[in-house]
């Protein structure tokens, strides 16, 4: 099936981050940027097909939203793709970048860089099963397979299966000997290699990921590639999202203050805690909202220490904000 449906502007996106970019986190980010592309945490095909929970739920306000999918069985990937389309996702991304042992044991993530045929078969099966665009997020290499030639061969094979957009974390992954955290920090960044991919495959869309911390840095990368993806920098300093629409998309921003952003979460918190969430499920993603401000530590401490006393409604946020004024 065609990939021309639901074309998203990937100028700026927030990376899929396990245990972090859940639906509450994504809704919070959406209060600050209408145009940033939001990704789910990685969801495995097994969780979608056999899991007891609802792993695909999201709020309609989160669009444009991409499901990041972990798996390597083409039939299961196709089933998960159909489910994603039925839920209303805008796009699906295949995880070919996560280096954790648990992911490797399931034969997906970064180890699949050594199996471009498997990735291609998954891509083909998914495109035949649904109309959503399917993208790939990878590293620049794995272990001793870290030549530029290895990377281009991977891109060529996956492109031939119909992938038009690659998100590239500009570090290689060591599959043995480094933890996922070390794999985000120890292998050196090589942005030039991603820039070279764009030069050599100008017809493809490339987004760059890894070590990008500011909107100014994002702008510099956009001189060379089509999109930038930030992860931990946004999670630790979420108010950075407030600059995205104006600075990167050229669209007037709403100029919400940090207090405005917190107040914009009141109604959401009331509704979600009536449906089984706790205040902390939502507030934990907001700990960095006042980073760099005089009372940032007070804000973090108040939310953390008082969450148990105020599990329902928006009282936790309201009381925390009272400390900030």
CA atoms within 13 A on the CB side of 306: 18
In whole angstroms, what is the distance from residue 50 CA to residue 39 CA?
Answer: 22
Classified as helix, coil or strand, 75 is helix
Distance of CA 242 to the CA centre of its chain: 17
Please compute, for residue 270, the number of CA atoms within 13 A of its CA located in the half-sphere on the CB side: 7
Say how far apart CA 94 and CA 159 lie, in whole Å: 13
Q: Which helix (H) or strand (E) holds 229?
A: strand 227-230
CB-CB neighbours of 296 under 10 Å: 16
d(CA 197, CA 168): 10
From the list 98, 111, 122, 130, the catalytic residue is 98
**What gap in Å lies between CA 305 and CA 277, rounded to an integer?**
18
Contact at 8 Å (CB) between 1 and 130? Answer: yes
CA–CA separation, 45 vs 151, rounded Å?
A: 26
45 touches 63 (CB < 8 A): no
The C-alpha atoms of residue 323 and residue 305 are separated, in whole angstroms, by 13
Which pair of tokens denotes residue 193? 């290699």
Active site residue 98: yes
Residue 216, both tokens: 């100014």
Tally of CA atoms within 13 A in the half-sphere of 311 that contains its CB: 6
Alpha carbon 8 to its chain's center: 14
User: Catalytic positions, please?
Assistant: 98
């Amino acid at each position: 099936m065609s990939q021309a449906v639901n074309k998203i502007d990937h100028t700026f996106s927030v990376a899929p981050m396990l245990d972090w970019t859940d639906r509450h986190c994504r809704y919070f980010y959406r209060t600050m940027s209408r145009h940033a592309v939001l990704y789910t945490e990685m969801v495995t095909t097994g969780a979608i097909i056999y899991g007891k929970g609802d792993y695909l739920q999201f709020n309609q306000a989160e669009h444009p939203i991409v499901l990041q999918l972990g798996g390597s069985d083409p039939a299961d990937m196709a089933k998960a793709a159909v489910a994603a389309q039925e839920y209303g996702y805008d796009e699906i991304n295949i995880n070919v970048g996560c280096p954790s042992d648990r992911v490797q044991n399931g034969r997906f993530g970064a180890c699949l860089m050594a199996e471009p045929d498997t990735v291609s078969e998954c891509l083909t099966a998914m495109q035949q099963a649904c109309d959503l665009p399917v993208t790939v997020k990878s590293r620049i290499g794995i272990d001793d397979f870290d030549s530029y030639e290895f990377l281009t061969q991977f891109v060529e094979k996956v492109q031939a299966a119909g992938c038009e957009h690659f998100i590239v974390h500009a570090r290689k992954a060591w599959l043995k000997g480094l933890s996922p955290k070390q794999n985000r920090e120890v292998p050196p960044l090589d942005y030039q290699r991603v820039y070279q991919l764009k030069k050599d495959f100008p017809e493809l869309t490339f987004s760059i990921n890894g070590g990008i911390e500011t909107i100014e840095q994002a702008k510099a990368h956009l001189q060379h590639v089509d999109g930038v993806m930030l992860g931990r920098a946004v999670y630790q300093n979420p108010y950075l999202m407030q600059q995205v629409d104006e600075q990167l998309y050229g669209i007037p921003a709403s100029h919400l203050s940090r207090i405005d952003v917190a107040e914009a979460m009141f109604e959401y918190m009331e509704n979600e805690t009536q449906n089984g969430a706790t205040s902390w499920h939502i507030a934990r993603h907001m700990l960095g909202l006042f980073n760099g401000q005089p009372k940032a530590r007070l804000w973090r401490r108040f939310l953390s220490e008082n969450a148990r006393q105020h599990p329902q409604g928006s009282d936790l946020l309201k009381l925390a904000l009272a400390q900030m004024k």
